[in-house]
């Protein structure tokens, strides 16, 4: 006969006996996870605390996985700030220098002094809507005067000849011009006039020549 103890070892365990959760020394702390107390019920955390811990850790891990890191966000914003601070400064056009009448006079004085000639001038004159300039440098005082008169008469003469325009200007001028006697004698000789000729003949000769022009 088999003893009672042997009978207990040889018997088949029921499903209830195989379920360790029914033992008071066993406490479930999760799916398929248990704590076994050696001297009685184990000091296991409550089910609600386990769920909060599990859910909180999972949610935190999921949230951290989806959200960008603060350091990365700061680093991403720094290049944009640097690019804005490195924008090239706007260039400002310097104001144009102002030229005064004194500056022009000083320049003309320096320019005329640079000539080695005895006589020199630089003239700007306005005639109607046009402005003309004349510059001359020479050692001959007569040539300087002639150049000035001829240039001025040319600006006003139009279709009139230069010599006639000069005669009109001098005749209409308030300045009284005295010609040397030798110029008159040279004119009389050039036109075959002498002491025996009358003043009428002199006037007729001048009229035929359309004016009195003293030879050189």
Domain boundary assignment for the chain: 103-175, 178-216
Q: Are residues 109 and 137 in contact, defined by beta-carbon separation less than 8 angstroms?
A: no
Neighbours of 198 (CB within 10 A): 9
Confidence at residue 124, expressed as pLDDT on a 0 to 100 scale: 87
Cβ contacts of 128 within 8 Å, gap of 6 or more = none
Contact 132, 125 (CB under 8 A): yes
Residue 113 has which token pair? 């002094």
Burial class of 64 by CB neighbour count within 10 A (0 to 12, 13 to 18, 19+):
exposed
pLDDT tens string, the chain, 216 residues long: the values are 444 444 455 555 555 555 666 666 666 776 667 666 666 666 655 554 455 545 544 444 444 545 455 554 454 455 555 555 566 677 778 788 788 888 888 888 888 888 888 999 988 888 888 888 889 999 999 999 999 999 988 888 888 888 888 888 888 888 888 888 999 999 999 999 999 999 999 999 999 988 888 887
- Tell me the C-alpha distance between 155 and 123, whole Å: 13
Pair of tokens at residue 88: 């090239």
């Amino acid at each position: 006969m088999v003893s009672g103890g042997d009978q207990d070892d040889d018997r088949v365990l029921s499903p209830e006996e195989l379920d360790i959760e029914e033992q008071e020394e066993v406490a479930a702390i999760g799916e398929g996870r248990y704590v076994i107390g050696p001297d009685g019920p184990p000091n296991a955390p409550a089910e609600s605390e386990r769920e909060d811990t599990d859910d909180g850790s999972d949610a935190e891990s999921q949230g951290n996985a989806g959200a960008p890191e603060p350091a990365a966000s700061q680093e991403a914003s720094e290049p944009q700030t640097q690019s804005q601070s490195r924008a090239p400064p706007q260039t400002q056009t310097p104001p144009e220098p102002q030229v005064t009448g004194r500056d022009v006079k000083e320049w003309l004085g320096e320019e005329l002094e640079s000539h080695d000639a005895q006589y020199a001038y630089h003239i700007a004159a306005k005639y109607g809507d046009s402005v003309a300039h004349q510059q001359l440098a020479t050692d001959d005082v007569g040539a300087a005067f002639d150049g000035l008169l001829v240039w001025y008469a040319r600006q006003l003469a139009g279709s009139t000849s230069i010599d006639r325009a000069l005669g009109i200007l001098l005749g209409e001028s308030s300045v009284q011009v005295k010609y040397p006697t030798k110029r008159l004698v040279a004119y009389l000789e050039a036109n075959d006039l002498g002491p025996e000729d009358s003043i009428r003949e002199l006037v007729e000769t001048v009229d035929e020549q359309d004016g009195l022009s003293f030879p050189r």
